[in-house]
């Protein structure tokens, strides 16, 4: 029997009417002859509420109990979805992570998949069940405790199941009708893409386009799971939404496919650090240990290069990280300084920044993208604070108040409104 994975995000299962609407989409695929694995998120707002309960109880909470609490939102929707399908005459059974059992690592709050054994679910399909409804976002640690995968983790659950069960496709139903060239709320000229390559989607996802959890795209790319992002609120068919696929499935792509942005950035500068071997490691080691996700890094050149003649050379180091990790980063640096592991005169935090990036696999074979990007920003008088690049992306850190302007200017200059 061909198999599909269908994932419904929080807004798509936000209340009983929406669960019913989602169930109808499942019914249609069952009628087409598919066995279906449905992955559900918690009702929208529910996970935040549960996280609030945990934080309201314990400031430095035990991560195992955090997982025990926040995983419960998905259990509710899995059971309700199975019930709704049964009401429609479809043999369906719900599964919590431990019942599958979805095996993960023991990193509570950000666990990773180890294995998804098929036997239990396959046995149910063999009995005549048509749908397995699986609670997203959760799994089971080697110690037998409930784990969660990190916020937005149900996308990753869906892709992992599609890979494990050899699904024909993994359909991600959400509250938008696909992946856009940029956020339509920021540029009215944003255009929905029919197809996008895994690598581009990976960059867009990690750069702040919130349609898919980054890890789900990584996993899809690794296992070549064809992913489709589509709306659960519209009538959809085989051609709806955006297909995230191998670049070989895309005939010709533009140099730039999308403009991504993130408001949740902060810039931290350490002034007058020593310029000698080992300093970067002494800074970024403690940051990594503190769980800070450092993104862009700039080290200035010192006036005098480090060598035997200038052992006292100094420089400045700037890096960016998510805004909600600033306190952790600051503490890690102050502790390292107090322990004598690093020296700096001053630590300055700038939380009024945003990151804007252009992404496209076409950049591999075209030059001049950076020049066009910087020219467009200079025409708008936007000052660039930090730049970073990869093979298929260029990112700049700018003042947050110019973010919308920058996104619109870049969308225009790369003509993303035209197919």
Q: Which is nearer to ligand ASP, 9 or 258 (CB)?
A: 9
Q: Which is nearer to ligand ASP, 75 or 269 (CB)?
A: 75
Burial of 346 (0-12, 13-18, 19+ CB in 10 A): exposed
- 227-231, strands of its sheet edge to edge: 92-95, 131-135, 35-40, 3-8, 169-174, 227-231, 242-245, 195-197
Please list, in sequence order, all residues whose beta carbon lies within 8 angstroms of the beta carbon of residue 281, skipping any fewer than 6 positions away. Answer: none
Q: How many residues belong to the chain?
A: 419
The answer to whether 185 is annotated as binding is yes
Q: Which does 35 bind (CB under 5 to 8 A by kind): ligand ASP, Mg ion, none?
A: none
Q: How much helix, strand and coil, in percent to the nearest 5, is found in the chain?
A: 35, 25, 35
* Tokens matching residue 338: 């107090």
Q: Which of 9/178 has CB closer to Mg ion? A: 9
- Does 55 appear as a known binding residue? no
Q: Which residue number, 9 or 73, has a Cβ lying nearer to Mg ion?
A: 9
Residue 9 or 241: which CB sits closer to Mg ion? 9
Please indicate if the annotation marks 180 as binding a ligand: yes
Q: Is 9 annotated as a binding residue?
A: yes
In 3-state terms, what secondary structure has residue 139?
strand
Partner whose footprint covers residue 206, from Mg ion, ligand ASP, none (CB < 5 to 8 Å by kind): none
- What are the residues binding ligand ASP (CB under 6 A)? 9-10, 41-42, 47, 73, 136-137, 151-155
Choice between 187 and 206, CB closer to ligand ASP: 206
- The answer to whether 291 is a known ligand-binding residue is no
> Measured in whole angstroms, how far is the alpha carbon of residue 45 from the centre of its chain?
18
Distance CA 286, CA 291 (A): 9
The option from ligand ASP, Mg ion, none interacting with 97 (CB < 5 to 8 A, set by class) reads none
CA separation for the pair 354, 333 (Å, rounded) = 23
Residue 414 annotated in ligand binding: no
Nearer Cβ to ligand ASP (95/319): 95
**Residue 47, contacted partner among Mg ion, ligand ASP, none, CB below 5-8 A by kind:** ligand ASP
Annotated ligand binding at 66? The verdict is: no
For residues 179 and 279, what is the distance between their CA atoms, to the nearest angstrom?
Answer: 41
- Which among 29, 169, 147 has a CA at the least distance from the CA of 85? 29
Residues of this chain that bind Mg ion (CB under 5 A): 9, 152
CB of 14 vs ligand ASP, minimal distance in Å = 11
Half-sphere exposure of 83 (CA within 13 A, CB side): 8
Three-point CA angle 272, 275, 280, nearest 5°: 95
Q: How far is the CB of 98 from ligand ASP (least distance, A)?
A: 17
Select the binding partner of residue 156 from Mg ion, ligand ASP, none (C-beta < 5 to 8 A, by kind).
none
56 CB-near residues (< 8 Å, 6+ apart): none
Closest distance between ligand ASP and the C-beta of residue 210, in Å?
11
Name the binder of 136 from Mg ion, ligand ASP, none, CB < 5-8 A by kind. Answer: ligand ASP
Q: Is 246 annotated as a binding residue?
A: no
Q: Which residues are annotated as a binding site for substrate?
A: 47, 74
> What residues form the annotated binding site for ATP?
7-10, 174-175, 180, 185, 210-211
Residues at the binding site are 7-10, 47, 74, 174-175, 180, 185, 210-211
């Amino acid at each position: 029997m061909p198999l599909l994975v269908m994932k419904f995000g929080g807004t798509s299962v936000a209340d009983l009417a929406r669960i019913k609407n989602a169930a109808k989409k499942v019914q249609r695929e069952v009628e087409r002859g598919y066995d279906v694995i449905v992955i559900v998120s918690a009702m929208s707002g529910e996970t935040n509420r549960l996280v609030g309960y945990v934080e309201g109880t314990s400031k430095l909470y035990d991560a195992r109990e955090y997982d025990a609490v926040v995983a419960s939102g998905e259990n509710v929707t899995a059971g309700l979805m199975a019930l709704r399908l049964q009401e429609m005459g479809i043999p369906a059974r719900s599964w919590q992570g431990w019942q599958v059992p979805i095996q993960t690592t023991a990193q509570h709050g950000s666990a990773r998949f180890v294995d998804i054994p098929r036997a239990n679910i396959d046995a149910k399909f063999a009995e005549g069940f048509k749908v397995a409804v699986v609670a997203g976002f959760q799994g089971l640690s080697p110690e037998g405790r409930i784990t969660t995968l990190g916020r937005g983790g149900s996308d990753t659950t869906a892709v992992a199941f599609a890979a494990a069960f050899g699904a024909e496709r993994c359909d991600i139903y959400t509250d938008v009708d696909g992946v856009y060239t940029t956020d339509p709320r920021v540029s009215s000229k944003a255009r929905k893409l029919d197809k996008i390559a895994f690598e581009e989607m990976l960059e867009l996802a990690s750069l702040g386009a919130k349609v898919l959890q980054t890890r789900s795209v990584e996993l899809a790319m690794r296992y070549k799971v064809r992913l489709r992002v589509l709306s659960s609120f519209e009538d959809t068919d085989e051609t709806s939404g955006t297909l995230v696929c191998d670049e070989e499935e895309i005939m010709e792509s533009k140099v730039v496919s999308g403009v991504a942005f993130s408001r949740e950035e902060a810039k931290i500068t350490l002034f007058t650090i020593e310029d000698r071997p080992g300093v970067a490691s002494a800074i970024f080691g403690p940051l990594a240990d503190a769980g800070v996700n450092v993104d862009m890094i700039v080290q200035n050149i010192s006036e005098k290069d480090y060598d035997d003649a200038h052992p006292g050379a100094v420089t400045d180091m700037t890096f960016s990280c998510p805004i909600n990790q600033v306190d952790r980063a600051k503490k890690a640096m102050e502790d390292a300084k107090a322990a004598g592991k690093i020296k700096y005169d001053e630590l300055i935090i700038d939380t009024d920044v945003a990151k804007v990036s252009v992404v496209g696999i076409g950049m591999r074979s075209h030059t001049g993208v950076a020049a066009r990007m910087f020219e467009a920003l200079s025409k708008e008088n936007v000052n660039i604070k930090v730049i970073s690049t990869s093979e298929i992306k260029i990112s700049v850190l700018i003042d947050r108040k110019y973010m919308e302007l920058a996104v619109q200017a870049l969308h225009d200059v790369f003509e993303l409104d035209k197919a």
